Chain A
Amino acid sequence: MRSDIILSGVGGQGILSIAAVIGQAAISAGLHMKQSEVHGMSQRGGDVQSHLRISDKEIFSDLVPHGGADMILSVEPMESLRYLPWLSKQGWIITNSQPFVNIPNYPDAKAVIAEIEKQPKHIIVNADELAKAAGNSRGMNMVMAGAASLFIDIPQEKMEGAIEFLFGRKGPEIVKTNIAAFRAGREFAEKKRG
């Protein structure tokens, strides 16, 4: 089994919590994992990415090779397009539909969505709204993790176990709403994939 994922978003949106959940689940499933992230300058509202690699064999490069990603998982629509050079021909784009506008020249939001829809395999989800509906207005990242989880060969219990492991410290209520958000994302992706 192998899953090479590019996580993307804007500094401050918290993409690393998604990496933590999927990564932790991979570990508990006994898989190899490498995850590289960006710190420093670009965390100030710039574009950020994280490369997450999971495999049942030894992983060498910390970076996903160009054209090798099975998935671009983005918490922001325009950012999902930035990493197309990394996406493999059969790869999925899974992105939040809600733009994060912190630059004056942000493109027309509809045009961004249209570009994503040109990709043969894509899932566009209003993760902010699904999170709210799940009773967790700050659970957008967990919705995205849930949507992505459908395409990663790790059992759902392991994923939810990882959420429990990572958020347990913050109390059962936080765990519960995060898992609710995760499930909402997964269900949405299931429907879309058909």
Chain B
Amino acid sequence: MKNFSFVNVENKADALEVLHREKEKSCLVAGATNVMPFIRYEKINDKTLINIRNLQELRFIREEEDKIEIGPLTTIYDLENSEIIEKYAPALREAAQDFADPTTRNSATIGGNIANASPAADTATPLLALNAVVVAESKSGVRKIPIQEFFLGVNKTALQCDELITVIEVPKNAANSNSCFIKLGLRNAMAISVVSVAAGVELAEGKVAHANVALGSVAPTPVRAKTVEAALVGKEFTPGLVEETAKLVTEDISPIDDVRASGEYRKTVAAVLVKRALKKSGKI
């Protein structure tokens, strides 16, 4: 079975109209780097392919007073080369630098990456640590989905079938400006992560005021390391503290054995990566 149809949309209003009309048959296509392999392997069939690749109005990175706004059509190449991202969300920039290969980065978009909701999605882990907010729009209105509530499972999100991601918001704060990202893959390029970690800490007089830690590829969705975060806040930020708290990450994750690594290995290496990311973010 194949049975696809194709609609090109020229602006956001058109896109919302077509989504409203096609409902469950809708399949938005941005960079197509996930959609094309899905078509090839018949993981999707009988869809209306809605081309949003040319929606330049949704390709932007803007600085507002208390947040930055990223358009869903922003490519991974754009993220890698943005001064705003470098300043306010360095974890996202580092994730972009390690993402796929330079050619794929020209097509792949941030909206497609999170909407596809792979447990290994490389922008998802940083966005989770950065407390991002996903703005979703449909003909019936606009809603803001905190990123913690966005990922529901492998390839499952909180988006309704007629909703379009129109903005991804990242708050401006010290923890986010200090954030960093570490990806462990089986090789240095073109690798799906075995484990990824994003962390951002804010210190006040040597003590941890805020600690945000997220991991990818260790559960069906990217997850926050809540146990680690709770154990850090209010304490003196020392190498000893980081060493001890990083180990607690095994409480927060449920990694599986797969072709890339065993669950046991992922647990061991997750603790090491959390330690490194916290040290890097807190500059010790």
Specify whether A and B are partners.
Answer: no
